[in-house]
């Protein structure tokens, strides 16, 4: 089955700096890659997603890039704010709603 | 539009007991999937239901089962509970399951003592 690896597991940045989280996947048939943000004690919430026919997608301070050849995708957060502090999960899906998740990155934005 | 609703939110069970968790998807969504979240294993896929049929199943023992009703509401059951079943169980719904976005509920926190 699909295997998704996520790095780093923890990340601390100064407020205003950028944060980058990287994920790799193993199955070239994966075609949908969402990113979720989970605050302590809350549900994972979708923040951005990308499909395999697109190389990059941006939504305000958040962007995702996908390299199908290398089988990796990354989350970029610019101008980080304290409210960006949370655990971020990447995921990959081949078909339907069977998603394979990375192990999460705990992001801390230091004011 | 109301989000994904899960009940109960918190529960404590004893080893050997069974538990049933319930999930009501977003109105109009026909696909419901279940995930187990633990600190050590992260988010792991349990199974997915669409139109009352199980379409996909993760790598969990047969003690974990589920079903979906005609109104798309879903339940999952865990029998013969073990300490290692303590986790946050998340339900997610999507429109039709064709690689669409999934939206999570708040989850059911299960503690097995």
Percent of the residues in chain B that have a pLDDT greater than 90, as a whole number: 84
Tokens of A56: 């990059």
Confidence of residue A96 (pLDDT cuts 50, 70, 90): low
pLDDT of residue B1 exceeding 70: no
Q: Is the dihedral of CA A50, A53, A56, A59 positive or negative?
A: negative
How many angstroms separate the most distant Cα atoms in chain B?
39
Structure tokens at A30: 């994966």
Say what percent of chain A tops pLDDT 70.
Answer: 97
Give the pLDDT of residue B40: 75
Distance from A19 to chain B by nearest Cα, in Å?
21
User: Which of A11-15, A46-50, A86-90, B55-59 is least confident?
Assistant: B55-59
Interface contact B106-A36, CB threshold 8 A:
no
Cβ-Cβ contacts under 8 Å, A99 against chain B: 33, 35, 43, 45, 102
Q: Which of B33, B35, B42, B94 to mutate to test the interface with A (most CBs of A within 10 A)?
A: B42
**Which chain A positions have a beta carbon within 8 Å of B100's beta carbon?**
97
Q: How confident is the model over B15-64, as pLDDT tens digits?
A: 999 999 999 999 999 999 999 999 877 899 999 999 999 988 999 999 99
Query: In degrees to the nearest 10, what's the CA dihedral of A49, A12, A39, A95?
Result: 30
Give per-residue burial for B25-41: e unless 16+ CB within 10 Å, then b: bbeebbbbbbbbbeeee
| B contact test, residue of A64, A97, A102 with most B CBs within 10 A | A97
């Amino acid at each position: 089955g699909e295997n998704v690896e996520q790095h780093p597991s923890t990340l601390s940045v100064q407020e205003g700096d950028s944060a980058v989280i990287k994920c790799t996947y193993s199955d070239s048939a994966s075609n949908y890659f969402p990113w979720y943000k989970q605050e302590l004690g809350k549900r994972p919430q979708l923040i951005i997603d990308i499909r395999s026919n697109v190389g990059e997608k941006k939504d305000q301070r958040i962007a995702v890039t996908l390299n199908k050849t290398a089988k990796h995708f990354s989350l970029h957060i610019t101008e980080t704010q304290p409210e960006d502090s949370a655990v971020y999960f990447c995921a990959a899906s081949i078909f339907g709603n069977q998603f394979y998740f990375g192990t999460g990155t705990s992001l801390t934005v230091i004011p | 539009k109301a989000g994904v609703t899960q009940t109960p939110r918190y529960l404590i069970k004893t080893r050997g007991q069974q538990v049933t968790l319930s999930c009501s998807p977003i109105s109009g969504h026909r696909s419901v999937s279940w995930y187990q979240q633990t600190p050590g294993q992260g988010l792991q896929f349990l199974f997915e239901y669409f139109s009352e049929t199980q379409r996909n199943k993760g790598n969990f023992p047969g003690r974990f089962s589920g079903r979906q009703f005609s109104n798309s509401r879903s339940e999952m059951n865990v029998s013969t509970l073990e300490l290692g079943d303590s986790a946050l169980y998340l339900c997610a719904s999507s429109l039709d399951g064709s690689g669409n976005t999934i939206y999570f509920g708040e989850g059911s926190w299960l503690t097995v003592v």
